[in-house]
Amino acid sequence: MMGSSGLRHKARWSLGRRLGVAGLAVVMSTGFVAHVAHAAPLTVVTGNTAGTPSRARLVPPGTGSAQVERMRQAVDGPRLAAADDLPSPCWTNVQITSEAANHAVFAEYGNPLDPGVLRAGTRYSGGSWGFTVCRNPDNWDTVIQAEGPQTLMVAAEVAYPGTNRGLLRARTPYSAIGPWEHFTTINPPWSNKDTWIFSPSAGKYVSVQLDYGSDPRHANTLRARLGSVGPWETFSW
C-alpha cells in the first residue's frame, strides 16, 4: 500500500504535469495536496460548454481603453521603477472555463439576487461570457473585468457571512479597484495551461461549487473557499 508521503507526491506530480512548471513549483513549495474527489455528485447547470477556441486578444501597452490601462496600472504597482521593466500584459475576450463543470464562466448581470455573480453555466440572461484580464508576470497579481454593457471588476465578497463568504461577483468600477479585486493566477491567459485562481483577501483558492445542487441560487457559482487545489479549483482560459 502506498504511504501518505507517496500519495502526496503522486498528487503533486499529477497537478504539476497538468499545470506546467510554475504550477508544480507552487505545489512543491506550499505543500498543498490536491483533493482529488468530492463526496457530493457533480451538478451541471445548463450553459455554454467548454472547448470553445480561445478568442483572447493581447492588448499592447498604451493601446487599450481607459479601463484596460487602469487595470494594467493596478497590477504593475512599483514594478516599473526600473528602466528595463515593461508594463504587464492584458488580454480581452478571455473565456474562463471550469474544467470540472465543463462549462464556461458567465457573469450574471441579470441575476436579481446576486447581480454579477460568476457561474460556470448560467441561469440568468443579461451578462457576459468574456473577460478582460491583466496579470503581472513577476508576482502573478491579476485583476479581472467582466466585459459587456457594465464592464465591472470581479471581486471576492470577503464580507459575506457563512457559506457565501468569498463569492465572486462582477460589481466594482475599474476606478475603484481595491484588495478584494486582486487575485493570484498560476498561469496567464492564452498559455495553453490550466490555472488556479487564489484570492489573497479571502486567503483561499477559487472553487466552482458543484455540490450546491439543492440550492439553485449557488449551484456552479465561483467562490474563494478552499485552502488546497484539485479539479474543482482548475480553470482554463
Find the mean pLDDT for residues 113-135.
88
Assess whether 124 and 27 both reside in one domain.
Answer: no
* Reported confidence tier of residue 117, pLDDT bands at 50, 70, 90: very high
Cα-Cα-Cα-Cα dihedral sign, residues 66, 71, 72, 78: positive
* Reported confidence tier of residue 121, pLDDT bands at 50, 70, 90: confident
Tally: H helices and E strands in the chain = 2, 14
Assess whether 16 and 95 both reside in one domain.
Answer: no
Q: Taking 50 as the threshold, does the pLDDT of residue 42 lie above it?
A: no
| Owning domain of residue 162 | 38-236
Assess whether 25 and 137 both reside in one domain.
Answer: no
Residue 49 and residue 222 in contact, taking contact as beta carbons nearer than 8 Å: no
Q: How far apart are CA 123 and CA 127, in angstroms?
A: 10
Find the mean pLDDT for residues 156-160.
96
Assess whether 29 and 44 both reside in one domain.
Answer: no
Considering its fold, how many domains does the chain have in total?
2
Assess whether 100 and 9 both reside in one domain.
Answer: no
Assess whether 5 and 81 both reside in one domain.
Answer: no
Assess whether 52 and 74 both reside in one domain.
Answer: yes
% of the chain with per-residue pLDDT over 90:
58
Assess whether 5 and 102 both reside in one domain.
Answer: no
- Which CATH number goes with the domain that contains 169? 2.80.10.50
* pLDDT of 150: 87
